[in-house]
Chain A
Amino acid sequence: MQQPPISPYQRLVEKAFSDAIPLSAQFELTFRCNHLCTFCYNAPEGRREMTTPEIFEALRKISDFGVLYLTLTGGEALCHKDFFKISAEARRLGMALRIYSNGYLLADKAMTKKVVDLKPMEIEISIHGANPATHDALTRIRGSFEKTMQGLRNLKEEGMKVQLKCPITKLNQNELFQIRDLADELGFFMTFDAVITPKDDGNLDPLALRPDETFLQKYWGEWYLELHHGKLPPRTNHCASDGATANCGTGRSGFTIDPYGNILPCVAFRRAVANILEINSLNDIWGTSPVLNEVRDLAVAAREKLNGLEGGQYFQFCLGVAEKQVGDPLGIYPQAEINAKAVKRSYELLQIGD
């Protein structure tokens, strides 16, 4: 089959990917959060988080390094007492902002207005159910569904571009269409995540909420296209294009900063590279860090391994999840295998070839 022509944007993004030029960074401002989600992957160590002047220093280094897209997250990013100062500084430094939030504090219209005034590219809000019973059971905060929904309505009123995200769990797996309908009513884009990950410290408790295999077969097969208005299931990780030599962009197309200042290859593969407050410039470590070089090699090795498996091209594979779940970043973990089989089956039913 003839490949569609590559767009100039895609060409630049692929150039950045192949040359390991990071266009994006994810900054976890704080682990503080106003929700208590049982499946949350954060594992705070109880240490002192960076101060606001230290965060400013980190932002300057990230900007000097050439990062274009900065995602502010947490914890709950809006719970940081200086969120607006920090966001304004990131904008002043010339970076485009994405904000990840649970939307709870955006129920306050004044707060929403302040966020919108930052002119973020996009805001991503997590939603966990189509009704208060499910959503609040997962966030463990009574009233959180109504607050988040009010926040979403406020964002809509302000004309903000919003993406809704829903991690699929046993508790909400049967109301995905209703959740999608909520997004449609608001005119927001909706994504579902079928992988629940272990906690960052390796604790596997969140996996108890994983959706079951029967559901996943239905999700990837009969439901996916309908839920996503005709869009096909993805066959690669979102951070790598078809045909890329590396499985994903870990340590390559972006990186993550945690609230202590640790530089990590990505949000999922949390091997500390260095502390951003202890280096003069990210240029000093990006090309020479043994951790980053190993992670990039592992991402290439993962792609090669998957290419050698039957149906390997259908895998959305995460090295960080593999390491935490089966103790080997190249180990095939059950969720990846189940999802890949289901996606392959879906493509076969649709008679779409490789």
Chain B
Amino acid sequence: MDLLTPFPRRHPDTAFRQIGDEGGLVVLPGKAEVKVLNPVGIAVFSLLDGSRDVEGLAAAIAGEFEIDLAQARADVVAFLDELRREGMLADEAAPAERVS
């Protein structure tokens, strides 16, 4: 995880929806691509509003899904890396995202 992105935020062009308890879909408009997320993934993605750091995200997920905090932290970091590779996080260089 890039330490320059302490408060990750989903890309403003993404559209996402949860579907029951099964998971959810994320669309990156302009690319016409849809990504399928599992229930944990869609929960994390819905929390990426720029107000939580990795610790905050991990704590929320550990609480919601009753998993170990260390495991939740590792899962969140791996997931954020995946989202960043796919261009689904907001521009990391934007000053607004650095505000804590």
A69 to B19, CA, bound (A): 13
Selecting from A72-80, A88-96, A224-232, A314-322, the interface stretch reads: A88-96
Asked if A8 is an interface residue, CB under 8 A from chain B, the answer is: yes
**Are B29 and A97 interface neighbours, CB within 8 A?**
yes
CB <8 Å contact, A9 and B22: no
Which residues of B in the span 7-36 have a Cβ within 8 Å of any Cβ on A?
13-20, 22-25, 27, 29-32, 34, 36
Bound CA span A68–B36, Å:
13
Residues in chain A near residue B13, CB distance under 8 A: 91, 119
Q: Which residues of A contact B22 (CB under 8 A)?
A: 11-12, 15
Query: Could you tell me the distance between the alpha carbons of A7 and B25 in the complex, rounded to whole angstroms?
Result: 13
Q: Is A86 an interface residue (CB 8 A)?
A: no
**CB pair A15 B20 closer than 8 Å:** yes
List 8 extra interface pairs beyond A15-B19, A120-B30, CB under 8 A. Answer: A7-B36, A15-B20, A16-B19, A21-B20, A66-B18, A69-B27, A120-B29, A121-B29
Contact of A122 with B32 at beta-carbon distance under 8 Å, contacts A69-B27, A94-B16 already known: yes
A68 CB contact (under 8 Å) in B16, B20, B30, B31: B16
Taken together as a complex, chains A and B put the C-alpha atoms of A122 and B24 apart, in Å, by 20
Q: Are A9 and B29 in contact (CB under 8 A)?
A: no
Indicate if the CB atoms of A23 and B29 lie closer than 8 Å.
no
A12/B23 contact (C-beta < 8 A), A121-B32, A161-B32 known? yes
Interface of A, secondary structure class, is: loop
By the criterion CB–CB under 8 Å, are B32 and A23 in contact?
no
- Interface residues in A55-93 (C-beta closer than 8 Å to B): 66-69, 91
Q: How far is the CA of A67 from the CA of B16 in the complex (A)?
A: 9
Q: Which residue of B lies closest to A70 (CB)?
A: B15
**Distance of A161 Cα from B33 Cα, bound (Å):** 11
CB distance from A282 to the nearest CB of B (A): 14
| Contact partners of B18 in chain A: CB under 8 A | 66
Indicate if the CB atoms of B23 and A68 lie closer than 8 Å: no
- CA of A187 to CA of B14, assembled, Å: 25
A67 — which chain B residues lie within 8 A by C-beta? Answer: 17
Measured between beta carbons, the chain A residues less than 8 angstroms from B16 are 68, 94
Q: Are A96 and B15 in contact (CB under 8 A)?
A: yes
